[in-house]
Homo-oligomer: A and B are copies of this chain.
Amino acid sequence: MLNQSLRTPATTHAPIDPSSCSPAEQFFATTGHAGLIASEFTYKKEEEIYGEDEPSEYVYQVVSGAVRSYKLLSDGRRQIGAFYLPGDVFGLESGATHRLTAEAIVDTTVRLIKRRSLEQAAATDVNIARGLWSMTAGELRHAEDHMLLLGRKNAMERVANFLLEMDRRLAVAGMMALPMCRRDIGDYLGLTLETVSRALSQLQSKGILGFSGARQIELRNRAQLRNLDA
Contact = CB atoms under 8 A, between A and B. Distances in A.
Most buried by B among A78, A139, A147: A147
B141 A99 contact: yes
Nearest to A157: B73
Nearest to A73: B230
B148 A230 contact: no
A223 interface: no
Contacts of A93: 137
Contacts of A124: 126
Interface in A114-151: 122-124, 126, 129-130, 132-134, 136-141, 143-148, 150-151
Give the size range of A's interface with the partner: 35 or more
A140 B81 CA distance: 11
Given A140-B136, A140-B140, A230 B147 contact: no
A230 to B, nearest CB: 5
A219 interface: no
Nearest to A190: B151
A77 interface: yes
B133 A230 contact: no
